[in-house]
Amino acid sequence: MFVILKSDVENREIEKFLTGLKKTYNADARLVVKNDKKIIVIFENNLKIDVGLLKSFDFVDYIDDSGELMGLVSRFFKSDDTMISIGNKIVGEGNFCVISGPCSVESEQQIYAIAKRIKMAGCGLLRGGAFKPRTSPYSFQGLRRRGIELLLEVKRAIGLCVVSELTDLKYLDLFSDIDVIQVGARNMQNFEMLRQLGRCDKPIILKRGISNTIREWLLSAEYILSGGNDNVILCERGIRTYEPLTRNTLDISAIPMVKKISHLPIIIDPSHATGRKWMVAPLSKAAVVAGADGVMIEVHNSPSRALSDGKQSLDLDEFDNLMKNIKALVKFSKKII
Ligand code: PEP
Ligand code: MN
């Protein structure tokens, strides 16, 4: 529930109001200031809040408990675009972020070979899965702890920011030097994980769930923001439809829709969206034109030998080419980071 306060409300009135909420309802409530609006966010836990009573305070403008406002992720709370710092790079307005790397970190030789080339091509963010959420328990599950160690070695040696997927909160400590934590499609509604990630200030890439609506996706981001972490990048990675020729269906329309509703940056992942490497370039270009803030692309030094997702991975030369195409497209409006 959101209690929108009048602009001339005094701090002591807010404090008294919060104390009253705690005393009367044992409510978990906090003040959020966005766009010069002062809003009290109340996390409802079976509370029978007397809305009429809250409305009767002079300094309360109005109350929204309809869910329509979507919350802190929405432009209602913050009209200007959110910019997110990753190392010395800023994701958001004015920049186009390219994240690339293998589906899985497989070996020292593999990750170094890829990292060097993507950096040379002008890409500053390396992705690589260490803990892999695989459909079959018999498929390669990732190098796990060793995968994270390799990413951190590469980060130091080559000077790239690194992105990796957290599949379970029990591994969170291993991610302290990872620059961006990815929440994968399968964990988009792991609410305990989202709540916990709201308590850190690390940038989070939140992928859209395989069968989730945009509203559900934004509400998952709301779990992170409402915990105090505003650094969320949304990633559209294709949704499941009746179309069998692609792995998923890339919902390009999510880009303008998210941009309209939310101030958070949105990137797209054409690799997982299609499962086909030859579709990665056209859809990356479509993402630029549709107004996305970036792309995440799977790249491998030897796709035919990849331990996961080789069919959708570009080889190093193909990635070079794609970077040239993206650079040409974004040249007039944005800067590649
Ligand atoms: C990935 O990026 O490696 C991945 C598993 O993606 P998704 O969660 O979108 O399937
Ligand atoms: Mn993959």
Q: What are phi and psi of 104, to 5 degrees?
A: -125, 145
Whether 196 is in a domain gets the answer: yes
Give the position of tokens 């009767």: 56
Q: Which residues of the chain have pLDDT under 70?
A: 45-46, 69, 332-333
CATH number at residue 7: 3.30.70.1140
Predicted confidence at residue 32, as pLDDT, reads 87
Give the SS3 label for residue 134.
coil
The pLDDT score that the predictor gives to residue 45 is 66
Residue 101 counted as domain residue: yes
Q: Ligand 2 center to residue 50 CA distance, Å?
A: 48
> What distance in angstroms lies between residue 37's CA and the mean position of ligand 1's atoms?
37
Ligand nearest to the CA of 313: 2
Q: Around Cβ 109, how many Cβ atoms within 10 Å?
A: 9
Residue 255 inside a domain? The answer is yes
Asked if residue 184 has its Cβ within 6 Å of ligand 1, the reply is yes
Cα gap 6→262, rounded to integer Å: 23
Rounded to two decimals, what is the model's pTM? 0.93
Q: What is the CATH number of the domain that holds 284?
A: 3.20.20.70
Using H for helix, E for strand and C for coil, what is the string for 183-243?
A: ECHHHCCCHHHHHHHCCCCCCEEEECCCCCCHHHHHHHHHHHHHCCCCCEEEEECCECCCC
Q: Structural domain tally of the chain?
A: 2
CA 229 – ligand 2 centroid, Å: 26
Q: Do 158 and 22 fall within a single domain? A: no
Asked, for residue 234, whether it belongs to a domain, the answer is yes
For residue 308, how far is its CA from the centre of ligand 2 (angstroms)?
Answer: 6
Q: Is residue 69 part of a domain?
A: no
Q: Which of 255, 190, 265 is nearest to 223 (CA)?
A: 190
Beta pairing, strands 232-236 & 28-34: unpaired
Q: What integer pLDDT is reported at residue 177 of this predicted model?
A: 98
Q: Give the dihedral sign, CA 321/87/191/70.
A: negative
Out of 13, 29, 64, a domain closes at: 64
pLDDT value of position 332: 67
Structure token digits, residue 272: 């997982």
Domain that holds residue 256: 84-336
Residue 58: which of 24, 1, 17, 28 has the closest Cα?
17
Residues with CB under 5 A from ligand 2 (ion): 103, 309
Residue-level pLDDT at 333: 66
